[in-house]
Structure 1
């Protein structure tokens, strides 16, 4: 990580007296201690995020071994992933708001504890039913912990330069975690067995809990009476859960089936009812004021399109490496590693400086242009690709994600107030998961349909699969172009309204006597 930003120089006082030099880590031991405490807290939040992000991808390379060991049917095997995605995507918004009301530290600790315990259960699973139940609990714990992470971060790092660096670290963790998960999943599965992809979470989760108790600032929300909209909570959770379930089952039932159309219509009706409820409720679960910010709505729309498109990179490139080029689990993870490295280098070493100099609204389009170029390269992928000439440039172009995600994260939190930062964080994570689910459903279905059509026409398996992947990459490039257009139309001009934490000095560190209070 690069050095922390230099403190601002002293400025002359307006009344003619000598200005007082601002306290820094070098001149004030208390300020130095507060700075260290904030970065320790960031480390805890980033590690917790890394654990949950890893778990979303680490399981993908181990699924063949899980199927053989536990006797999953081909249709049932998809629930190893779906049982995690459905509660994760459905509960983020609710968990973020409850964190604002009950305390974000409490929500983070509770979610990490649930996730860690569920990981133990998943590792010990000896039947499909137990593993699916454990994965559902993991998704629930992930939602609870992930929903409030950004909310805690933006209130800890109120100074703009520090906050930009903190968001860069947080964004890198999320962006690179999925690629690292594939590497780790392949290595653990090949060297030990699939149980260890879950057991690895135990020491990490326990360490996060041990450090988070003293490191995270104690906060006490106003209580459920300030936003205990039970009807709204039911409507939004049921709507999201129904919609995500319908999407993840598209490959099984088809887009035009009664199952998909019925559940999709039900999800839309529930979410419309939720919006009406929030507009009329005395204490709404989601105050609609947060959606009036162009930064919030635009950044979330861009993220949904971007994540849906980049599913083709994250998942279909891995499938291409294994099914067309014949890579093993560990080899696939290692082949994807350069993308994680370049994303990390850009996120940690470049993005904060570029955002500070040019602004997030200018850096975001540049990152999207790089990603469009990456997807265009993938549309030309040959059946017999050479890794260095055909795939390595794609991995390097993933640097665009390292530019785009920190900028998006800052913009998505730009309209948050102190009392709804958890909600804004939950919303940002929700659109990410919905975008991922849509990418899985739409792009994998298109690829599979194209491949099946060519196989029926007599094409070889490798040629048919590659052509299907190219079609998905082409659609992904179109989604990124749409994301670029939304970014230019909605985010180019800054808003005059600022969140209440913008430009405010960070809160004093919690006294040691109260530091362990969740």
Structure 2
């Protein structure tokens, strides 16, 4: 699909183009803040709905599973149905799901709303960037548009911490409700500003629904199985069955993809070592980071007695630096190269995780116990976040970069879902086991990053 240029770059006033950009960037902000909104509100949700940590983690992993499990399927939907109708439909459904989550009186409804919102983000986040690439002329205008879009995305996590912290002081339900009117405003503006699609070549492989459902089902079954392990002495058959179902669905996914005329995952991309290394490394960084914040938000609010707003402010040093440096991150990568920046960032993250206190004490000193961890994690994201993405997409030809980006983002979101679930399963035994896991995942990402800076592998990696 291509976008009509008649009513945009060739004929429309610049104000219409920038209005379109702020619709797209505003929605990117909503997508980015969804995770941080949930994290700060978790203790309040736990108290209100009576959820333990393994149940509570579904609020985070449900969104990530919907996003990551259906991201590739979302790309196929956009290719078949068009960017404009899919984007607008996703915005409308996102608003409804936000209201449903805010009014939920059960964990099942809340998690279902989070999963639906994750799917909506899977439709809008990559599509917004594709619309920018199609509508804005190549050169300075497009570069500025991409910079604004990236800035809103990078700032969304920090914005979610502040908004959720402030709104959760009243009720966690307000933190989940406020995206609804914003999404509706963006929908109304998008009806006027998002250009219509022109007919284009349609993928020959259909929607790929079986692949999408089997992949997503495997992820959900695996998350359920992991979080069921602590109660396996009572529900052993259920836990074993969930693991078996996850394996079965994964086999179905692989089988369908191998025989599909137009698979969701292009197998030749898996031979690109920098792409695979970036996807796994970014998944480890994102998953370990969210696992850390899950432990921290429960510790600070439930044990140390901090308010949601104090907790959100405490997390800002881990997220704000990325937003502040977003406009310059590409220059930093060009100056130092992605592999070295990734290795440095992957080293900073587990060091930060290791410094966080493991004894669940109530007397927490922010300057000593929390701030060093957050600063190191913030440095990790400044160094590695953009470098991961650029290394992943630079490893493939131009006509495969969109597919590579989808595979990369899928790994990032699935890493969040699986690590968060494992952390939640360990957390009932105390923060220490959960933090050991978080640190181990961070160290695994660091060891993986080191493979990218070994001189003897430079030539072979480039060749692949």
* TM-score between both structures, scaled by the size of structure 1: 0.73
- Would the alpha carbon gap of residues 111 and 486 (structure 1) be closer, same or farther in structure 2, given more than 3 Å must change? farther
The worse-fitting range, judged by mean Cα deviation, of 196-205 and 245-254 is 245-254
Distance (whole Å) between structure 2 residues aligned to residue 293 and residue 303 of structure 1 = 16
- 1:220-253 Cα deviation digits (max 9, x unpaired): 46465523154xx313422332323322452233
1:288 aligns with 2:263: no
Which residue does 1:195 correspond to in 2? 173
Maintained 8 Å contact 2:84/2:197: yes
CA contact (8 A) 1:110 1:144 kept: no
Instruction: Show structure 1 runs of 5+ residues with no match.
Output: 1-29, 452-464, 498-518
Q: Give me the whole-angstrom Cα distance separating, in 2, the residues matched to 1:203 and 1:274.
A: 37
Q: How many residues align?
A: 448
> What is the CA–CA distance in structure 1 between the aligned matches of 2:57 and 2:433, rounded to whole Å?
20
Q: What TM-score, normalized to structure 2? A: 0.80
2:421 to 438, 441, 455: 441
- 2: CA distance between counterparts of 1:285 and 1:329? 40
Return closer, same or farther for 1:163/1:148 CA change in 2, 3 Å cut-off: same
1:244 maps to 2:198: no
CA contact (8 A) 1:339 1:396 kept: yes
Structure with greater Cα Rg? 1
2:355 equivalent to 1:361: no
1:370 aligns with 2:323: no
* Correspondent of 1:102 among 81, 90, 107: 81
Greater displacement, 40-49 / 416-425: 416-425
Distance 1:76 1:378 in 2: 24
Aligned residues of 2:61 and 2:417 also touching (Cα < 8 A): no
Mapped pair 1:321 → 2:321: no
Aligned residue among 409, 413, 418 for 2:393: 413
Does the 8 Å contact 2:33/2:160 carry over to 1? yes
Structure having the higher helix fraction is: 2
Query: Is this contact kept in 1: 2:274–2:391, CA < 8 A?
Result: yes
Contact 2:165 2:308 in 1 (8 A): yes
Structure 1 residue 155: deviation in Å?
Answer: 5.5
**CA RMSD of the aligned region, Å?**
3.8
Q: State the Cα deviation string for residues 464-518 of structure 1 (Å, max 9, x = none).
A: x4x4454244324423323423544699567479xxxxxxxxxxxxxxxxxxxxx
Q: Against the structure 1 CA distance between its residues 268 and 81, is the aligned structure 2 distance closer, same or farther, given a 3 Å change threshold?
A: same
1:357/1:32 CA distance change after superposition, 3 Å: farther
Structure 2 CA distance for partners of 1:47 and 1:486, relative to 1, 3 Å:
farther
Which residue of structure 2 lines up, in the alignment, with residue 455 of structure 1? none
Within the candidate set 297, 302, 325, 2:276 is matched to 297
The answer (yes or no) to whether the contact 2:229–2:425 under 8 Å persists in 1 is no
Written as runs of structure 1 = structure 2, the 5 A alignment for 1:466-485 is 467-468=432-433, 470-485=435-450
Which residue is 1:426 aligned to?
Answer: 406
2:96 maps to which of 117, 120, 128: 117
Residue 389 (str. 1) matches residue 368 (str. 2): yes
Partner of 1:59: 38
d(CA) in 2 for partners of 1:395, 1:113: 35
SS at match of 2:172: coil
Aligned mates of 1:487, 1:39 — CA distance in 2: 39
Q: Which structure 2 segments of 5+ residues have no match?
A: 1-8
